[in-house]
Structure formats: structure tokens, C-alpha cells
Amino acid sequence: MKPTRRTVAFGGAGLLTASALGSKAALAEGLVADLMEGTDEFGTAVEAYVYGYPLVTMEMTRRVVTNVAEPVGTKGPMGHLIKLREYPNASFRDVTAPNADTLYTTAFLDVGEEPWVVSIPDLDGRYALFPMLDGWTTVFDVPGKRTTGTDAQTFAITGPGWEGTLPEGVKQYKSPTSIVWLLGRIYCTGTPEDYAEVHKIQDEIKLYPLSAWGKEWTPPPGKVDPSIDMKTAVRDQVNDMDAIEYFTLLAELLKRNPPAAADAPMVEKLAEIGIVPGQDFDKSKFDPAFAKRLPQIAFAKIMLHFKFSDGDVESIDGWGFTTKTGIYGTNYLQRALITAIGLGANRPQDAIYPTSLKSASGMVKRKYDGSEKYVLTFKKGELPPVSGFWSITMYDENYFFVDNPLNRYSISERQPLKSNSDGSVDLLFQHESPGPDKESNWLPAPKGKFILMMRLYWPNESNPSIIDGSWKIPPVKKVS
């Protein structure tokens, strides 16, 4: 499976989910090992590539997502709300690692010219979050149940150079960049009744430029650019650029999406190879001999961070995950890695996505196979500690839902889970039904290989907590 088959990954849904990451890391290691010690200029260019990877990827994603005349599916023009209305089924193949927990309400905005206003209705206690990502993929603020509650609220997203006065009662969220990705998620049980409730919420969410305040406003149709590649995965489009094309785009984006103050040392390095914020790329300062080889080496370095992350990525009892998402500071490698494998990732206080490909049983760790039987046991009182919700989703080896007689793609407390006599809870992963008495705790697997992903929304920040390590996900064990 190629993780790059996604055109766009909504909200980090695929975070740490690429089954090919091991081979990618191995390839990366080989590429770097084969490279003779390069010049200082080459090393600086690699750093510049890694630094700019999120901004370039966000721009290419924006182009693809917004290159339609009106909202359809996961796409919509700039300034239009994109509303996903139902969960996909096992026939869905547009996006890998889909979820069956939240319905997305998203939009790409340009706040460089004027602010955009967002109005959210009363959620009546329902869990939802509306993270806003800048062009560098930093989650600069997160309105929602965890932070601002579920009462009706109106806020304005302002750009880096905006100065002005907002209408009374409108809260300001200042974006560091002109590019903004609003990536809202609303919890939904997936029943017809709950779909109707969430659709009502989605339809009451309003999005408009500040200049339309107090007026009737309809977003204009989008303009379709036929030159934009709508078929090739975004990550492939970025990785296929040679270094000159890549740095030319990066320099152009820096004009309206400035570096952070903490990036000053990196900005000095960028200037050495012809990249100065606010100016066009000066190709005369860059060795064209690096144009083809540089992207390969730089992306190899990004993927190597998955394998040698110095603690940024953890692997415990068969579950791989990271709590270094959403806010990165000057950890440019981690930011680039998350961009490559989980674009749109939340802050860890909002969501963590542990993923497991192999059973924790036995001396040799083998990939899960539906012909076997597996169990994950939560001890009494030790279900995942969250204030939002938790779930475990079953995917086939290509990260798509598994067709099954229950039409059940994830398991959580939404199911009437049955406890054992000692109060513990067993979750069962296998192809064959465990029988009617245990069906409530069963997540059907395919006959072949499968993958498990846990979603922890609004995880505890203190004991017990996956964030500080005081709670650990139990291992999945093979039943003999």
C-alpha cells in the first residue's frame, strides 16, 4: 500500500498509519548512507527543504481541495464550507484511514486581505472542535467544547498584518499566516437520528468575510484551474518538484505567510541559498546541480525521523503514536514528518491516534491476520481516559474499512460493551463471529491482514494520561 494515494488527509486521520513507513524509512536510510559528505551549501539546502515542507504542502493541498466550482465531497472553493454528511462505508476509496466518529466541517480561507467570521450555533453539549491551522500547519487556536464550551459563539480569524476593530461580541483569533485551514469536527453516533441533528448544526454554521457583516451574503462560485493536477496525490506532487521549482514556490509563499520570530536563525540560512522572505527566489545563489538529488535526500531525512525521532515518536506494546503534534516550535523535522504522514493533526490535548499493526504476543511480532483471534483487555475502571470520546477502528492492510455483517467499522462505548465478572472489558478482533453473547464486544476483521487505530479525543492531561505516560494502551494479544 502506498500512503500517498490520499489526495488529502483530513485532520491527521492517517497519523502514523502508513504501513509502508518501515520500508520508506529503510529506503531513506539507504539514500542518506549512499550520499557522500556534501558541501555546506547542500546541507543548508536540505535544512531549507525540510523547513519549507509544511508550507509548500499546505499550499498544494489548498489548490487541490479548492479547485472546484462548488462544494462537492471533500472539496470546496476558497471561503466555502465543506460539510461531510455521513460516514463512508467499506466501498469508500477516496481517502485512506477514514473515521466513523466525527463529521467534518472545513474550509480554506485567505485572511491576508480581510478577516473571516465564523458563527457556530449552540451545540447543546455535543462534543466538537474547530482547530485552525496556519500555513505552517501550526494549530494556532482551537475553539470547541474543550476550550470555549458549546454555547453559540462567533469569532473572526484575522491575518498577520490586520489592524482594526471587530463588531461587539466577536472574538479575535489571529493567524500568523494568510493561509488558514479551518478543520472542524463534530461528534456523531452515525444513527439516522443523530445524522439529522449534526446536519442541522452544520447548516447553521456560517462563514463570511468581515465586509459582509450584517448583510446577506452568498459565497461566489469557485474558479476551476484546469492546469491543477486533481489526480496525483498531493504528497507525490510536492515530492516530484525539483529543488528550483520547490524553492521558487516557497519564496512566493513566504511573501504572505511569514516565518515565526523563533525562525530567525533558519531565515539567515535561507538567505544563503537565495531565499529571503518577501522576495523572489534568487536562483543565482543555488547550485542547479542539486536540483534533482536534493528533494530525494531531504525527504529521506524527513522519513528517517520516524525511525530515529529521539522520542518524538513512541512505540509501546505494539502501539505507535506521537504527542508532538499541532505546535512544533523549531522542531522542523517533526513538523515535516507529521505533514508527510498526517497533515492536519490536532494538538495532543485534542486528539492522539495510536496505531497498531502487529500483535504484542510471542517472540516474533507478526502482522494481524483475521484468521487468528486477538483480544485487548481493559482492566476494571481502566477504559481509555478521555473527556471527549475514544474508539478503535478496524482497517484492512490498505487502510480502508472492512466489509462485515454488522456494518461495524469501529468499536467504542457507543456499543453496549459487556464486562467480565471481574469488571474488565475484552475487545475481540477476529473474522469469525464470537457468538451472540460476545458480539457487542466484537470488531469484525477481514480474512487477511488488518490494522487497528485508536482515537483518543480530549485525552486526560494528568494521571491517568497517555500524554504524560501515566496510562498506557493495553497490548493486543493473540488468543491461543
- Residue 183 corresponds to which cell in the numbers above? 478543520
5: confidence class by pLDDT, cuts 50, 70, 90: very low
Q: Both 145 and 207 in a single domain?
A: yes
pLDDT of 11 > 70? The answer is no
User: Of the ranges 33-47, 86-100, 258-272, which is most confident?
Assistant: 258-272
Q: What is the 3-state secondary structure (H, E, C) of 72-121?
A: ECCECCCCCCEECCCCCCCCCCCCCCCCCCEEEEEEEEECCCCCEEEEEC
Residue 405 vs residues 195, 274, 444: alpha-carbon distances, Å? 22, 59, 8
Q: How many domains does the chain have?
A: 3
Q: Both 130 and 23 in a single domain?
A: no
Residue type, 365: K
Contact 10, 74 (CB under 8 A): yes
Percent of the chain's residues with pLDDT above 70? 91
Tell me the chain's radius of gyration from C-alpha atoms. 23
Distance, CA of 413 to CA of 142 (rounded, Å): 25
| Prediction pTM value | 0.92
pLDDT of 2 > 50? The answer is no
95: confidence class by pLDDT, cuts 50, 70, 90: confident
Helix (H, G, I), strand (E, B) or coil at 258: coil
Dihedral of CA atoms 404, 406, 407, 411 in degrees, nearest 10, equals: -100
Q: Which of residues 284, 317, 342 is at a domain's end? A: 342
Is residue 381 situated within a structural domain?
yes
Q: Both 249 and 206 in a single domain?
A: no
Residue 248 vs residues 90, 285, 410: alpha-carbon distances, Å? 41, 12, 44
Is residue 223 situated within a structural domain?
no
Residue type, 22: G
State the average pLDDT over residues 312-330: 95
Contact 96, 18 (CB under 8 A): no
Helix (H) or strand (E) run with residue 198 in it: helix 192-204
Q: Which residue has the cell 523572489?
A: 280
Q: Both 398 and 444 in a single domain?
A: yes
Contact 207, 107 (CB under 8 A): yes
> Which structural domain range is residue 368 located in?
354-478
92: confidence class by pLDDT, cuts 50, 70, 90: confident
Q: 428-460, pLDDT tens digit by residue?
A: 999 999 999 999 999 999 999 999 999 999 999
State the average pLDDT over residues 380-407: 95
What does the DSSP 8-state code read for residue 347?
Answer: P
Distance, CA of 145 to CA of 480 (rounded, Å): 43
DSSP 31-64: HHHHSPP--HHHHHHHHHHHHHHHHHHHHHHHHH
Q: Both 378 and 314 in a single domain?
A: no
Helices (H) and strands (E) in the chain, counts: 8, 21
Residue 199's pLDDT is: 98
- Residue 135 corresponds to which cell in the numbers above? 500555513
Q: Both 33 and 49 in a single domain?
A: yes
Instruction: Residue 430: give its domain's CATH number.
Output: 2.60.120.600
Instruction: Residue 145: give its domain's CATH number.
Output: 2.60.40.1610
pLDDT of 25 > 80? The answer is no
Is residue 225 situated within a structural domain?
no
pLDDT of 10 > 60? The answer is no
31: confidence class by pLDDT, cuts 50, 70, 90: low
Contact 141, 173 (CB under 8 A): yes
Residue 39's pLDDT is: 77
Q: Both 253 and 275 in a single domain?
A: yes
Distance, CA of 189 to CA of 299 (rounded, Å): 39
Is residue 221 situated within a structural domain?
no
Residue 362's pLDDT is: 66
Is residue 348 situated within a structural domain?
no
Distance, CA of 140 to CA of 131 (rounded, Å): 8
State the average pLDDT over residues 271-288: 96
Q: 323-353, pLDDT tens digit by residue?
A: 999 999 999 999 999 999 999 999 999 999 9
Distance, CA of 335 to CA of 337 (rounded, Å): 5
Is residue 455 situated within a structural domain?
yes
Q: Which residues of 144-158 are buried (b: 16+ CB within 10 A; e: fewer)?
A: bbbebebeebebbbb
Q: Both 161 and 259 in a single domain?
A: no
Q: 129-179, pLDDT tens digit by residue?
A: 999 999 999 999 999 999 999 999 999 999 999 999 999 999 999 999 999
Average pLDDT, the chain: 92
Nearest Cα neighbor of 67 from 221, 209, 185 is 221
Q: Both 72 and 205 in a single domain?
A: yes
Is residue 224 situated within a structural domain?
no
7: confidence class by pLDDT, cuts 50, 70, 90: very low
Contact 410, 97 (CB under 8 A): no
Distance, CA of 255 to CA of 161 (rounded, Å): 12
Distance, CA of 3 to CA of 339 (rounded, Å): 13
- Residue 359 corresponds to which cell in the numbers above? 500483535
Q: Both 74 and 184 in a single domain?
A: yes
Q: 342-384, pLDDT tens digit by residue?
A: 999 999 999 999 999 998 776 667 899 999 999 999 999 999 9
Percent of the chain's residues with pLDDT above 90? 86
Pairing type for strands 410-411 and 386-396 reads: antiparallel
Q: Which of residues 318, 342, 366 is at a domain's end? A: 342
Q: Both 237 and 314 in a single domain?
A: yes
Q: Which of residues 342, 367, 396 is at a domain's end? A: 342
Distance, CA of 315 to CA of 412 (rounded, Å): 23
Is residue 347 situated within a structural domain?
no
Nearest Cα neighbor of 406 from 448, 445, 377, 372 is 445
Residue 448's pLDDT is: 95
Residue 480's pLDDT is: 75
pLDDT of 111 > 50? The answer is yes
Q: Both 242 and 335 in a single domain?
A: yes
Q: 113-136, pLDDT tens digit by residue?
A: 999 999 999 999 999 999 999 999
93: confidence class by pLDDT, cuts 50, 70, 90: confident
Residue 150's pLDDT is: 98
